[in-house]
Amino acid sequence: MIRHSHAGTDSSPADDSPLVEVRDVWKTYHVGEVDVPAVRGVSLTIPAGQFLAIMGPSGSGKSTFMHLLGCLDRCDSGEYRLSGTLVSRLSKRELASLRNRRLGFVFQSFNLLSRTTVLDNVALPLTYQSVSRRERRKLAAEMLDRVGLADRAMHHSNQLSGGQQQRVAIARALITRPILLLADEPTGNLDSRTGIEIMALLQQLNKESGLTIALVTHEPDIARFTQRCVTFRDGRVASDIVNHAVEDASAAAAAAHAEAELSAAV
Ligand code: ADP
């Protein structure tokens, strides 16, 4: 059974339509004379509050699909609805506005401003909205607290570990209160233990506030912490599997920590 209701979200009738509705979407790149079909007739719905993984070999169309979901690009044909809005019909300007206000992005390489404080990195997306400096900093401090980095607010981001930098990037992605978080290999630059800690944070955000998360990963070891795994092959959805036994990443992180302590003591 696919579980379509989620903790933290209101279950009023208006919430019954999926947050993401993609129907028969196609995208082909044109390189000189050559057509490169990247996404070939993908249909997918994502209910609000779901945490799903997108997997598949390199070149299978995952990034192209994430770009479409993230309103960074438009499909050639097909339909994409985000929270009821027909995204596939929007102009470039409307897409940018939707992207800035409703979507959050996290990347493998964190993409923080290295000589800027952690607090200002997190507050940055709000500078494009009419929020006062004081309010921006207050919200950024609250967000840093949520990701467990309140005590690092005045550090520069290049003074932090990889795991801490990714937490800052997550806080920055969430400060505009997006309805969908898109994470492109967020654990790809981290050691496995730190990667599990990041998954614990994402699981916590998903559970506590019903945040919908789509995460691209190559690692089955990371996908086991998500509720559903969609695998791409040759631009199509090859499989779409509900995870009936989602593992608890914070318990896995604690176990990995204990194991590391034990081997250090031996
Ligand atoms: P994945 O993220 O699974 O590695 P991509 O979406 O990046 O897959 O790529 C799907 C296909 O589209 C591949 O054949 C790739 O070479 C091609 N492709 C991706 N981006 C571009 C681009 N900007 N221009 C031309 N071809 C591209």
Q: Kindly give the pairing relationship between strand 34-46 and strand 20-31.
A: antiparallel
Check whether domain 35-265 has CATH 3.40.50.300, yes or no: yes
Mutate to test the pocket of ligand 1, among 60, 64, 237 (most ligand atoms within 8 A of CB): 64
Residue nearest ligand 1's atom 17 by CA: 38
Residues 190-219 pLDDT 10s: 999 999 999 999 999 999 999 999 999 999
pTM for the model stands at: 0.91
63 CA: nearest ligand 1 atom = 2
Cβ < 6 Å from ligand 1: which residues? 29, 31, 36, 38, 56, 58-64
Residue nearest ligand 1's atom 16 by CA: 59
User: What angle (nearest 5°) sits at the alpha carbon of residue 47, between those of residues 126 and 252?
Assistant: 80
Residue 90 has pLDDT above 60, yes or no: yes
Instruction: Give residue 15's pLDDT.
Output: 57
| Interval 225-241 mean pLDDT | 98
Rounded to whole angstroms, the Cα distance separating 10 from 16 reads 10
Give the range among 8-17, 92-101, 150-159, 249-258 with minimum mean pLDDT.
8-17
Question: Considering the chain, what is the average pLDDT of its residues?
Answer: 92
* Domain spans of the chain, in order of start: 35-265
| Interval 221-247 mean pLDDT | 97
